[in-house]
Amino acid sequence: MGLPRFSRPKGVDGELSPNLYVANCGPAVGLSFDTIASVFSTFGEVKGVYPADDSGARVIVSYFEESAAQAALKALDGHPCPALGGRFLHIRYSIFQPPSQVNDSVPVSLVDSELNIPGIYLLHDFVSAKEEEELLAAVDKMSWKSLSKRRVQHYGYEFCYEVNEYPPGVGLSPHIDTHSAFEGFIFSLSLAGPCIMDFRRYTEGVWPKSASSSDMSVEYPDKSSSFLRRAIYLPPRSMLLLSGEARYAWHHYIPHHKIDMVKDSVIRRGPRRVSFTFRKVRTGPCQCEFPQYCDSPR
């Protein structure tokens, strides 16, 4: 079950509510949810503390009673809070959004067997901490090519993005690596920082007519299409293998977040994440069992 969702207040005072939007407060500024709940519980029973967005510096404090929220807002808004390191909190009321108004979140798996997607394998601690350090040092000695939001290094064919560097909050749009360009397995080694990788399988064929073998991937279809969805946590030094159905029929992507929720725990992405991606260039037409996702001529 996903965490409850709340709307960010739009007015100065907002609408009276048992839920408070609290800025300058959260894991990104060194305050745990337990610490925040303990401080706010002096005004009444706290139902829960939740991330307000992906920043890690804003939270929702949810009370059982509106009177408790009102008392907390009056006492803490715009004043230094000694119990929270003297921070000045900026507080407004927040409104709970019923499930019909938001997209349902998906549970994040820690191991590949929980995904129920044939062909996905995740190996933890594939390299040691020392090997990770040596690999990062090696790539940092080489030249990077800047894209719109991340940097890459190429080995082999130019469109083979063999090394990708992701700054905090930068992800990857949903895509399937083109069938006509690459054959066999796809390996991805995560270094330096963690992330969440999502997988979607759409119910209809998705390959656009304009695709060609020079494209690395194609981002299709639009968000209105129906799909199955899964997600897995990729810790540093882990190796992800995509094969079979997972490689040829499921879109994969990395959400653009600075923090991720994993089993109700907040995981903040590191200052960088470097992905070593290994693919084999195809020399003949694709003969996969998923023609509705395939761009290769039959």
**Distance between CA atoms of residues 212 and 71, nearest Å:** 61
Integer Rg of the chain from CA:
22
The pLDDT of residue 38: 92
pLDDT (mean) for 107-118: 93
- Do 234 and 265 share a structural domain? yes
- DSSP assignment of 210-254 equals T--TT-SEE--S-TTS-EEEEEEEE-TT-EEEE-HHHHHT-EEEE
User: Is 106 inside a domain boundary?
Assistant: no
- DSSP assignment of 82-110 equals GGGTTEEPEEEEEEEEPGGGSPPP-PPBS
Q: What is the CATH number of the domain that holds 217?
A: 2.60.120.1520
Amino acid at the residue 258: K
Q: Please give the structure tokens belonging to residue 137.
A: 């040092």
Q: Examine the fold and report which residue of 47, 79, 101 is the final residue of a domain before the chain moves on.
A: 101
Q: Please give the structure tokens belonging to residue 70.
A: 């009102």
- Do 285 and 214 share a structural domain? yes
What is the pLDDT of the chain when averaged over all its residues? 78
Domain hosting 129: range is 112-293
- Do 249 and 155 share a structural domain? yes
Which of 184, 220, 223 minimizes the C-alpha distance to 205? 220
pLDDT (mean) for 194-214: 63
Per mean pLDDT, which range of 2-6, 91-95, 262-266 is the poorest? 2-6
* Domain count along the chain: 2
The pLDDT of residue 128: 96
**Distance between CA atoms of residues 204 and 297, nearest Å:** 19
- Do 129 and 270 share a structural domain? yes
Q: Please give the structure tokens belonging to residue 168.
A: 């905090």
- Do 97 and 123 share a structural domain? no
Instruction: Answer for the pair 233, 196: CB distance below 8 angstroms, yes or no.
Output: yes
